[in-house]
Amino acid sequence: MTTLKKIPAAEFEIMKVIWKNTPPITTSMLMEQLGKEKKWRAQTLISLLSRLVEREFLSTEKNGKERTYFPLVSKEEYLKYETSNFMERFHENSFLSLVNTLYEGKKLSNKELEKLSEWIKKRGE
């Protein structure tokens, strides 16, 4: 597999749907799950899928008139990649910096802080 690269938001939306489904997934299935929400035309979806194939996030096969797609990158792999980049770029790889930013921005509730504290205690054992 090639080195992962950041994908644009629209392509990430497609990947989220693909990851939620059992492979393979067809263009029709994607259109049904994304089309109403995004109001994309079929050609738009096909273009975005082609880019994901070029970037080696998906493989594709033609079955009759329908194309099927298979993920080559798991959700976990991509989230790990994105999170790592985010931590490095914005927080100099400091988990404390990230948590402090979330806390100061009122993004963490007391309950979440308690869960985080429990998580840290378990990791320290």
* Binned average pLDDT, 10 residues per bin, the chain of 125 residues: 83 95 92 81 92 96 92 96 92 88 82 89 85
Give a yes or no: residue 3 inside a domain. no
Give a yes or no: residue 109 inside a domain. yes
pTM of the model: 0.80
pLDDT at 95: 86
Q: Which domain does 40 fall in, by range? A: 9-71
d(CA 26, CA 108): 38
C-alpha dist (Å) from residue 79 to 23, 55, 61, 113: 19, 16, 26, 22
Same domain, 86 and 64: no
Cβ pair 31, 41 in contact under 8 A: no
Q: Name 71's bridge partners.
A: 58
Q: What is the CATH number of the domain that holds 43?
A: 1.10.10.10
Give a yes or no: residue 48 inside a domain. yes
Same domain, 37 and 25: yes
Domain count, the chain: 2
Q: Name 70's bridge partners.
A: 59
Give a yes or no: residue 4 inside a domain. no
pLDDT at 42: 85
Give a yes or no: residue 30 inside a domain. yes
Give a yes or no: residue 1 inside a domain. no
